[in-house]
Structure 1
Amino acid sequence: MKLSKIIGAIDAEAVFFKDDCEIVHAYTGDLLSMVMKNAKSGSIWITVQNHLNIIAVAAMSGIKAIVLCEDMNFSNDVIEKAKEEGICLLKAKDDAYTVSGKIYTLGIR
């Protein structure tokens, strides 16, 4: 499913939008080692983590987009690193559980 469709469905704000990539998987979690183990290439990652390491994990795992939940803001250094790596950043007002449920109803597992 195209990222733009997911953004609309979860009522997210695009903080950095590189391209309308195809999302084939979703993963929710805050423990970086579990994300590296379980997220698939082409994933959208739902989290409340907001530090430079999330960009490194996303780049290594092939994650295309990160959703920061609970109306939190990405730091400037995270945004700049995401631009360098080409990883889309989204901001959602809902908690991770709610965002995950909305994405699940779209058929993304």
Structure 2
Amino acid sequence: MARLGFRILAEGRDCPVTGGYVADLLSDVIANAQEGCIWVTVQRHLNIIAVAQLKKVAGVLVPAGCIPEANVLERAVKEGIFILQGTGDAFEICGRLYGLLQQSNQT
């Protein structure tokens, strides 16, 4: 993640990244995100931790300028959920994440 410019805001448990999902509507994430994905969102409140746990995502990735509140980061560490911050907007972040996943699937 570091080589893509993703900064770790909260350290989580190691698990394989199987894909990505982009949504800001929590009900959409609950209905459609797959286990092991990186969830890209601008949401920064405590409910993202509950949804991340429910869906067993590999981590939550927020764009530049979106910094979760301290209680969110503390809860993420407690629950073992990675919170990452990317540079650029969600579109750019998704492009880099997609490229990395495609490279890893070819090896």
TM-score (norm 1): 0.86
Matched, 1:90 2:84: yes
Give the gaps of 5 or more residues in structure 1: 1-6
Aligned residue-pair number = 103
- Which of these residues, 52, 59, 64, is aligned with residue 53 of structure 2? 59
Q: In the alignment, is the contact (CA less than 8 A) between 1:45 and 1:63 conserved in 2?
A: yes
Matched, 1:41 2:46: no
* Helix, strand or coil at the partner of 1:14: strand
Q: Distance in 2 between matches of 1:75 and 1:95?
A: 19
TM-score (norm 2): 0.87
Q: 1:64: how far off? A: 1.8
RMSD over equivalenced CA pairs, Å = 1.7
* Helix, strand or coil at the partner of 1:41: coil
User: Map of 1:1-109 to 2, 5 A cutoff?
Assistant: 7-106=1-100, 107=102
Give the gaps of 5 or more residues in structure 2: none
Q: Distance in 1 between matches of 2:95 and 2:12?
A: 25
Q: In the alignment, is the contact (CA less than 8 A) between 2:38 and 2:59 conserved in 1?
A: yes
